[in-house]
Amino acid sequence: MIANKTMEAELLKERPEEWRALAKESITRAEELAKHLNISVEEIKEVAGVYPMRISRYYLSLIENENDAIWKQCVPDARELKDDVGVADPLFEEKDSPVEGLTHRYPDRVLLLVSNDCANYCRFCTRKRRIGKPFRKITREQIAECISYIREHSEIRDVLVSGGDPLMLEDSEIEHILKELRSIEHVEIIRIGTRVPCTLPQRITPELCAMLRRYHPLYINVHFNHPKELTPQSKRALELLANAGIPLGNQSVLLRGVNDNPEVMMDLNRKLLKMRVKPYYIYQCDLVRGTEHFRTKVENGIKIIESLRGFTSGLAVPQFVIDAPCGGGKIPISPNYIVKRTKKGIIMRNYENKVFSYPEPEMET
Ligand SMILES: *Cc1c(COP(=O)(O)O)cnc(C)c1O
Ligand code: SF4
């Protein structure tokens, strides 16, 4: 597998278009996966029949041991079918949707879904209900309707382009969407949410970056969950994006047995910063049907933030959030540093648990 990786990198130097071939070669059949991993074909078939499987050969090559952090994120698991806690659309993304494919929840920004495809189908995905399902394919007409909605709502100043993965579209299709959005005067910033720098870094080509940089101010949020995902290939992809002047943020999902521990998160967030990616959010796992085995206690997320704050660069500390069920939106969950509040001031503790007080100004009443 290691030999494969270098070969891929060599191929790409000569043929930047290679990413399409790599995407096509992704593993989608249980029999094929069984050639690489010690799995039960029957079990995988049963699960993938409900929630499709797709694993890029690149991502597969990162698996080192059975059931390690990479394996858990991409290999179907029988527990996905035994979950009766979660629901299909816990965040009411479809209920809060004025036009199919667009969610308008906050006053000044919207979520625009432009693709239903990803390089990998993550087993913990919040949009598990639709990812990889052909009947949920997003059409050009649908996207055009969403863009009309944005055009008609002058309060929208920030458009978050997501999916699936928007970067699974052809460069020309991505450019069409960006051009349309940029033609709307009230749209100030555009953001793209993508996982390909992690799951198919070969997709980030100099050509793509040359196109993207014409649509600034453009932000990209990537999605890395574990330091093992930060390979030389991902580093190269992130470098190309950052060199195109695109500010990069990272969103992680807190996953049981993958990254629900302070050491792993410290390592991940420091390594991201080295690659010019600012850790943005850590999400508590949503109540999505089929992902119960990934959920971990909220307390673990708080402990992770406490273990970062003060102990490493403030830049490496993301905001821990719970996306509230039923469309409540993202709610920040933070460790409590206030020990006591009095009329005179506040008593607080620092990261080392030392107590300090800060007097309030004396106000005229
Ligand atoms: C996450 C999200 C946003 C963006 O939220 P920020 O906190 O601004 O990053 C916008 N709309 C929807 C529906 C979202 O889920
Ligand atoms: S890349 Fe994102 S949208 Fe696609 S399956 Fe993974 S988490 Fe879901």
pLDDT tens track for 80-124: 999 888 888 888 888 889 999 999 999 999 999 999 999 999 999
Contact 282, 254 (CB under 8 A): yes
Is 198 catalytic? The answer is: no
Which residue intervals of the chain are DSSP H helices?
2-14, 18-24, 30-34, 41-50, 57-60, 69-74, 140-152, 171-182, 196-199, 206-212, 232-243, 262-274, 298-308
Closest C-alpha to ligand 1, atom 5: 330
The two most distant CA atoms of the chain are separated, in Å, by 76
Residues within a 6 A CB radius of ligand 1: 103, 105-106, 109, 111, 160, 330
Gap from CA of 160 to ligand 1 centroid (Å): 7
Residues of the chain with pLDDT > 90, as a percent, come to: 85
Contact 103, 97 (CB under 8 A): yes
Contact 255, 124 (CB under 8 A): yes
| pLDDT at residue 185 greater than cutoff 90 | yes
Ligand nearest the Cα of residue 162 is: 2
Is 77 catalytic? The answer is: no
User: Between these two residues, 71 and 1, which has the higher pLDDT value?
Assistant: 71
| Residue matched to tokens 């793509």 | 208
**How many CB atoms neighbour CB 351 within 10 A?**
13
Is 146 catalytic? The answer is: no
Ligand nearest the Cα of residue 160 is: 1
Tens digit of pLDDT for each residue in 195-226? Answer: 999 999 999 999 999 999 999 999 999 999 99
Question: Which of 84-98, 114-128, 137-151, 350-364 is least confident?
Answer: 84-98
Ligand nearest the Cα of residue 128 is: 2
Q: What pLDDT band is residue 15 in, cutting at 50, 70 and 90?
A: low
Report whether the peptide linkage leading into residue 217 is cis, meaning its omega lies within 30 degrees of zero: yes
Domains and CATH numbers, the chain: 5-77 (no CATH), 102-332 (3.20.20.70), 338-365 (no CATH)
Is 118 catalytic? The answer is: yes
Closest C-alpha to ligand 1, atom 8: 109
| pLDDT at residue 194 greater than cutoff 90 | yes
| pLDDT at residue 340 greater than cutoff 60 | yes
Gap from CA of 101 to ligand 1 centroid (Å): 14
| pLDDT at residue 4 greater than cutoff 80 | no
Structure tokens at 47: 């699960």
Beta strands at 329-332 and 248-253: parallel, antiparallel or unpaired:
unpaired
